[in-house]
């Protein structure tokens, strides 16, 4: 805040100047003390809170907008401390639904645009987040990847990002990679801490010794706990523990028993880790998560702290957001009472942006650069023969290494003896053996590795998507080589997207032209297109609830444990890249 603004706030607090907006006759949830204060008023000038107390009449002038809360409760604006906005919808479309329920700050990862469009792509993405009705801050990409061409963040690039006020930390760094390649990541961690930024963690599956080693690097948070005992153990180690309740994972119910442990929960945080358009439309955003926490038995004040002050303190932003006090941003909602998280007014940056569920201020559109809209750089048409798996041995069968779907996200390594036909391993839908391929679309366009996957239950066709996690790959799974080729080629034409092809016909598609990962469609239309994709994939036998998510996580560097990229199969236990063949049956 500029000195002249502080001087103006001082004058408003003293009544020498008048507030722009004042809320009167309110109950005030003070997240600093945990109290609910009766008969309070809040006076706002510009973006800032000038006065909080029982009598604000001296701050009200004839031009002051006055909201009479009629005894309803004012709470701080919600903060989503970990999400991924760069997936499916643009910020403009996402905010049309996210802003209505009381969220006034979002902290997003930026790891999605960096591998495909580099530093300039991250800047373009950040520009789309600027000057919106609510604050959107970001973490710089740590760029953990199973692909050697995508892994790593140049230190000089990181330094440039850390010069920005809207970059507040280094994004999630998966523990396996940090421990396997400390020489790559520890210099980035040092640069982060020297810049006064936070180190965001990802410790899923780390045993005690490895967890200790990981935390010793300076990691300050983790959003991967799936049970209350895991969350409690990480709280005891000084981490801010983020409980996910979004489209990727929902752990709030399981972890909610931590409320009965007697532990101090002031380092517990509620986050979404990403919301897909249909759920955003149906449920809302952080207000839905906070309401669920209350419904699962968390004290309402505690639940609200978990989405306000606790988050702000983690990111060292509590001097400006997270609570309602003089000198803070005027971010707040008026709700019926603390157990009923239904925003009747939403105030962000001192402006009324929503009333009774209707937006009063529109999100700002952004025109993405040509490079950001042309990220599929394949040099030729993909052919069905590109998906042949040649074994190179003179044998009637070979022992193959197969990605086995243990769940919709977790994979294992399966070894099976498979027949060799004309020198190749072929897909076998009778035994649920499909082909999976990762095709680089950026660094070495067209470089491809074809592997095998079991567990999709696909009886025909193929599904492909250009938004493969942590890489620059197009990922495709199919029962037919020709359908796989057709799906990938359609993505090239669309300049990014998700495509389902069956028997030579494109039966569903979703264009994702922004970085190959985001659509510019309205959320309502986007949700419909995603449903069409799900229905089409279900029609060819796949039973996963979110088949698109299952597909794109096959390249991810975080979820156990056999993954694929354009270089081969990667075992996350040791980080080694391996091929399709284990050994021949006789060997």
**Mean of pLDDT values over 564-582:** 95
Least confident among 199-208, 309-318, 327-336, 522-531:
199-208
* Proportion of the chain above pLDDT 90, given as a percent: 96
- Give this prediction's pTM: 0.96
Average pLDDT, the chain: 96
Domains of the chain in start order, with CATH, are 3-71 (2.30.40.10), 76-322 (3.20.20.140), 384-583 (no CATH)
**Tokens matching residue 408:** 């919709």
Which band of pLDDT confidence, cut at 50, 70 and 90, is reported for residue 323? very high
**Mean of pLDDT values over 161-190:** 96
Backbone angles phi, psi at 417, to 5 degrees: -85, 120
**Mean of pLDDT values over 19-31:** 98
- Over residues 503-553, the pLDDT tens digits come to 999 999 999 999 999 999 999 999 999 999 999 999 999 999 999 999 999
Q: How far apart are CA 464 and CA 482, in angstroms?
A: 12
Q: Is the pLDDT of residue 586 over 60?
A: no
Query: Residue 120: in which H helix or E strand, if any?
Result: helix 113-129
Nearest CA to 163 out of 133, 191, 136, 189 is that of 191
User: How many residues are there in the chain?
Assistant: 587
- Over residues 119-158, the pLDDT tens digits come to 999 999 999 999 999 999 999 999 999 999 999 999 999 9
Q: Is the pLDDT of residue 585 over 80?
A: no
For the chain, the farthest-separated pair of C-alpha atoms sits apart, in whole angstroms, at: 91
Q: Which residues contact 155 (CB under 8 A, 6 or more apart)?
A: 187, 188, 191
CB contact at 8 A, 22 and 66:
yes
Nearest CA to 242 out of 262, 230, 257, 225 is that of 225
pLDDT of residue 257: 97
- Over residues 211-261, the pLDDT tens digits come to 999 999 999 999 999 999 999 999 999 999 999 999 988 999 999 999 999
**Tokens matching residue 180:** 């396997």
CA 496 from centre of chain: 19
pLDDT of residue 392: 83
CA 492 from centre of chain: 25
Q: How far apart are CA 403 and CA 417, in angstroms?
A: 14
Q: Is the pLDDT of residue 2 over 90?
A: no
Task: Taking the CA atoms of 494, 497, 502 and 508 in sequence, report the sign of the dihedral they define.
Answer: negative
Q: Tell me the β-bridge partners of 424.
A: 390, 421
CB contact at 8 A, 50 and 59:
yes
More confident residue, 342 or 561: 342
Cα distances (Å, whole numbers) of residue 287 to 135, 290, 296, 494, 503: 16, 5, 14, 35, 44
CB contact at 8 A, 454 and 483:
no
Nearest CA to 141 out of 133, 128, 432, 123 is that of 123
- Over residues 442-478, the pLDDT tens digits come to 999 999 999 999 999 999 999 999 999 999 999 999 9
Give the HSE-up count for residue 397: Cα atoms under 13 Å, Cβ half-sphere. Answer: 8
């Amino acid at each position: 805040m500029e000195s002249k603004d502080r001087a103006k706030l001082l004058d408003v607090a003293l009544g020498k100047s008048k507030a722009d907006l004042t809320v009167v006759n309110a109950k005030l949830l003070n997240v600093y003390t945990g109290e609910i204060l009766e008969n309070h008023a809040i006076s706002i000038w510009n973006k800032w809170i000038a006065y909080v107390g029982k009598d604000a009449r001296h701050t009200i002038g004839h031009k002051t907008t006055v909201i009479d809360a009629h005894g309803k409760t004012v709470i701080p604006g919600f903060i989503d401390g970990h999400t991924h906005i760069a997936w499916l919808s643009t910020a403009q479309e996402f905010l049309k639904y996210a802003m209505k329920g009381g969220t006034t700050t979002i902290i997003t990862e930026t790891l999605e645009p960096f591998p495909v469009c580099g530093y300039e792509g991250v800047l373009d993405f950040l520009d789309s987040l600027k000057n919106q009705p609510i604050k959107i801050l970001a973490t710089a990409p740590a760029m953990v990847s199973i692909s050697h061409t995508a892994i790593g963040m140049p230190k000089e690039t990181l330094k440039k990002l850390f010069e920005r006020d809207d970059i507040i930390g280094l994004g999630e760094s998966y523990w396996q990679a940090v421990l396997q390649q400390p020489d790559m990541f520890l210099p980035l961690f040092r640069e982060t801490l020297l810049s006064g930024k936070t180190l965001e963690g990802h410790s899923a599956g780390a045993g005690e010794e490895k967890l200790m080693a990981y935390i010793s690097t300076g990691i300050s948070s983790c959003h991967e706990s799936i049970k209350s005992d895991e969350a409690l153990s990480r709280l005891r180690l000084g981490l801010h523990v983020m409980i996910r309740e979004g489209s990727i994972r929902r752990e709030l119910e399981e972890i909610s028993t931590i409320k009965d442990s007697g532990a101090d929960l002031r380092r517990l945080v509620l986050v979404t880790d990403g919301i897909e358009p249909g759920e955003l439309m149906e449920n809302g955003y952080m207000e839905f998560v906070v309401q669920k926490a209350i419904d699962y038995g968390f004290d309402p004040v505690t639940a609200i702290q978990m989405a306000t002050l606790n988050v702000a303190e983690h990111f060292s932003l509590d001097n400006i957001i997270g609570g309602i006090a003089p000198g803070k941003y005027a971010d707040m909602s008026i709700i019926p009472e603390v157990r009923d998280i239904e925003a009747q007014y939403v105030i962000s940056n001192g402006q009324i942006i929503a009333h009774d569920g209707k937006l009063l201020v529109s999100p700002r559109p952004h025109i993405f650069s040509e490079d950001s809209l042309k990220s599929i750089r394949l040099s030729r048409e993909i052919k069905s023969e590109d998906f042949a798996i040649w074994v190179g041995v003179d044998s009637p069968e070979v022992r193959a290494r197969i990605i086995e779907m243990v769940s919709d996200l977790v994979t294992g390594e399966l070894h099976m003896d498979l027949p060799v036909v004309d020198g190749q391993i072929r897909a076998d839908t009778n035994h649920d053996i499909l082909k999976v391929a990762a095709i680089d679309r950026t660094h070495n366009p067209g470089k491809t590795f074809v592997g095998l996957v079991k567990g999709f239950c696909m009886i025909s066709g193929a599904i492909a998507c250009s938004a493969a996690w942590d890489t620059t790959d197009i990922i495709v799974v199919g029962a037919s080589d020709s359908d796989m080729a057709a799906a990938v080629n359609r993505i090239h034409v669309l300049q990014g997207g998700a495509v389902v092809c069956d028997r030579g016909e494109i039966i569903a598609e979703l264009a994702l032209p922004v970085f190959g990962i985001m659509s510019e469609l309205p959320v309502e239309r986007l949700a419909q297109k995603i449903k069409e994709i799900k229905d089409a994939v279900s029609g060819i036998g796949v039973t996963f609830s979110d088949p698109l998510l299952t597909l794109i996580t096959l390249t991810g560097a975080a979820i156990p444990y056999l993954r694929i990229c354009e270089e081969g199969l990667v075992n996350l236990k040791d980080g080694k890249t391996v091929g399709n063949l284990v050994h021949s049956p006789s060997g």
